[in-house]
Structure formats: C-alpha cells, structure tokens
C-alpha cells in the first residue's frame, strides 16, 4: 500500500505537540520505526490506524484520506497488532479467536475452518487451535494476535513492539514468520526497541525523536549515523558497535556481515 503522511502534527493537550510536522512517503515497503520512549512512535502508528484524530496535516492510504475512510473498509485493508496480546484476546480457543473475524463474512462453517487453518499455518500455531489463548505462552499469544490481524487478508499490518518480552529463540521464530509473510506480499510498519529484530527484518528505518522524524534511511545508513543515534538516544546493535570500535569501513548488521567485512579488510 502507498502511505503518504503530509505535515502531520498531533497534540493530546492543546499547545503541547507530541508529533511535529511529520512527512513521509512509504510506497509498498515494510518499515521499522525506532526511537526512545516518548518520541511519538505509538501516536504515529495510531494515527495511521485511524485510532486518533489528526490535529493537523493529512494521511493518505492509496490516495484515500484516513479520516474519510469508513471503519469497516479500513479494517479490510489494514491489520493492527497491539503490544499486549491480552488487549485483543477474549475467546475460548485459539480457533475461535481467529474465526471471530470471519463470522460475518464467511457463512459456511467448513470454509471458515479452512481459512482459520490456513492462517494458523502461516504463523505457525496450527497445533494450538484448541488451546485457550490466555493459557498459552506469551510468545504464542503474540502469534495468535498476528493471526487475527490476517483474517481479512490485509495488504498492510501495523505492529506495536511485536518482540517485546520474548527470548531470542521466540524472537527468531517471530522474525521468520514476518519475513515469510513479507515474501507473500504483506507490508509491515513496525514499532520496535529490538534492534536485532529491526536490522534483520527491515531494510528501511524511520528514527523518531522528540516528536520529529529525525532520519528516514536504509538500515545500514541509520545505524552508521552516530549523530542521529546520539540525538535519538538509540544504542546500535552490538555488532555495529564492535565494527565501529574496529574502524571498519562498512556497517555490518549481523554476524555474517561482520565476518564478510572483516575478511574483506584483511
């Protein structure tokens, strides 16, 4: 989807701007949004999801103003996954949790069952369909809420801190799921404090700071710009820090790239 943000500002309290003149053009790309707490990231993504009214400016999705789009049309095109899965889960089983979004669209029970199983397979939770969603591990709850966001076959999914409170194995699995979904044509706009997840999943990064868009670049450039990192109080991934200490010419974002960069300089 083509997301165009034009001079968007937002205030929760009159006179105090949380976002200040944001301009960005995202044309069918997956993007990560990073920045310290209070930078305006969550407010920005809520504006994209039409959860808050704009104070000024305009947001267009495929040429249509967000503020003019009916909620039912909006939910057909865009999925949203909250940071805390418990804010979204309420059914007796994982199956019913995913099926709920299909009840008013697909009348045939067998077709609904087939669709639920397809979605569960996409996110790797087919073995959990009969489990209670609030009694499974947190990382699996996150996958369930991701599955519910895919019910309407959205072109764009918004994620709020998708890997928070997960260990590295759980994050690695979630990362594989997101990468596979991207290959299937789904676009993601994600807020994250997990720099390893960001660098291994997204090629484009927006850096927010004090309500402003400080940087909009490729991941290599974002983590190579020490001035912007300092201004936004972001700590680069460990591999990037080591590369800088060794005065490497490039900016490796993972161990494989670090090894290649190191061998290339020998």
Question: What token pair was written down for 210?
Answer: 């004090």
Over its C-alpha atoms, the chain yields an Rg (Å, rounded) of 20
What mean pLDDT is predicted for residues 126-136? 97
The phi, psi pair for 195, rounded to 5°, reads -70, -30
pLDDT of residue 104: 83
**DSSP letter for each residue of 89-148:** --SSSHHHHHHGGGTTT---HHHHHHHHHHHHHHHT-GGGTTS-TTSS-HHHHHHHHHHH
Three-state secondary-structure class, residue 195: helix
**How distant, in Å, are the alpha carbons of 229, 234, 255 from that of 242?**
15, 16, 11
Higher pLDDT, 94 or 235: 94
Long-range contacts of 249-258 (CB under 8 A, 24+ apart): 250/220, 251/220, 251/221, 251/223, 251/224, 253/199, 253/200, 253/219, 253/220, 253/223, 254/196, 254/199, 254/200
- Domain span(s) for CATH 3.40.50.300 in the chain: 2-233
pLDDT band at 138 (very low <50, low <70, confident <90, very high): very high
Does 264 or 88 have the greater pLDDT score? Answer: 88
Name the more confident of 249 and 30.
30
Across the range 45-58, mean pLDDT stands at 91
| pLDDT higher than 90, residue 141 | yes
Average pLDDT estimate for 196-200? 90
**CATH for 2-233 (3.40.190.10, 3.40.50.300, 3.30.200.20, 3.30.365.10):** 3.40.50.300
Alpha carbon distance 125, 111 (integer Å):
19
Q: How far apart are CA 253 and CA 266, in angstroms?
A: 19
- Average pLDDT of the chain? 91
pLDDT digits (tens, 9 = 90+) for 66-98: 888 877 777 778 999 999 999 999 999 999 999
Quick check: 139 pLDDT over 90? yes
pTM: 0.90
Question: In whole angstroms, what is the distance from residue 7 CA to residue 119 CA?
Answer: 37
- Residue 188 — very low, low, confident or very high, per pLDDT cuts 50/70/90? very high
Average pLDDT over residues 200-214: 95
H or E element that contains 182: helix 168-183
How far apart (Å, rounded) are the C-alpha atoms in residues 58 and 60? 7
Q: pLDDT value at position 76?
A: 76
Helices 138-149 and 109-123 cross at an angle (nearest 10°) of 130
pLDDT (0 to 100) of residue 266: 55
8 A C-beta contact, residue 190 and residue 200: no
Q: How confident is the model at residue 265 (pLDDT cuts 50, 70, 90)?
A: low
- pLDDT of 15 over the 80 cut: no
Residue with tokens 């003019």: 68
Going by pLDDT thresholds of 50, 70 and 90, the confidence category of residue 194 is very high
Please tell me which residue, 130 or 261, carries the higher pLDDT value.
Answer: 130
């Amino acid at each position: 989807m083509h997301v165009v943000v034009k001079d968007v500002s937002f205030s929760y309290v009159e006179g105090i701007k949380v976002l200040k003149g944001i301009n960005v053009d995202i044309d069918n790309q997956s993007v990560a949004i990073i920045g310290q707490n209070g930078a305006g990231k969550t407010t920005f993504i809520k504006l994209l999801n039409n959860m808050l009214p704009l104070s000024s400016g305009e947001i267009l999705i495929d040429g249509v103003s967000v503020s003019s789009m009916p909620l039912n049309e909006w939910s057909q095109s865009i999925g949203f996954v909250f940071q805390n899965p418990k804010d979204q889960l309420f059914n007796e089983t994982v199956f019913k949790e995913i099926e709920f979004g299909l009840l008013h669209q697909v009348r045939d029970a067998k077709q609904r069952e087939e669709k639920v199983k397809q979605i569960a397979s996409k996110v790797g939770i087919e073995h959990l369909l009969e489990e209670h969603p609030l009694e499974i591990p947190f990382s699996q709850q996150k996958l369930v809420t991701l599955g519910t966001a895919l019910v309407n076959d959205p072109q764009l999914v918004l994620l709020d801190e998708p890997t928070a409170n997960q260990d590295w194995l759980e994050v690695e699995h979630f990362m594989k799921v997101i990468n596979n979904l991207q290959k299937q044509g789904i676009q993601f706009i994600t807020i994250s404090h997990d720099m390893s997840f960001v660098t291994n999943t997204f090629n484009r990064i927006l850096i927010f700071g004090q309500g402003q868009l400080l940087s909009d670049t490729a991941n290599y450039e974002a983590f190579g710009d020490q001035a912007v990192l300092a201004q936004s109080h972001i700590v680069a991934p460990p591999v990037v820090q080591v590369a800088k200490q060794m005065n490497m010419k490039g900016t490796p974002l993972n161990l494989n790239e670090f090894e290649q960069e190191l061998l290339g300089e020998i």
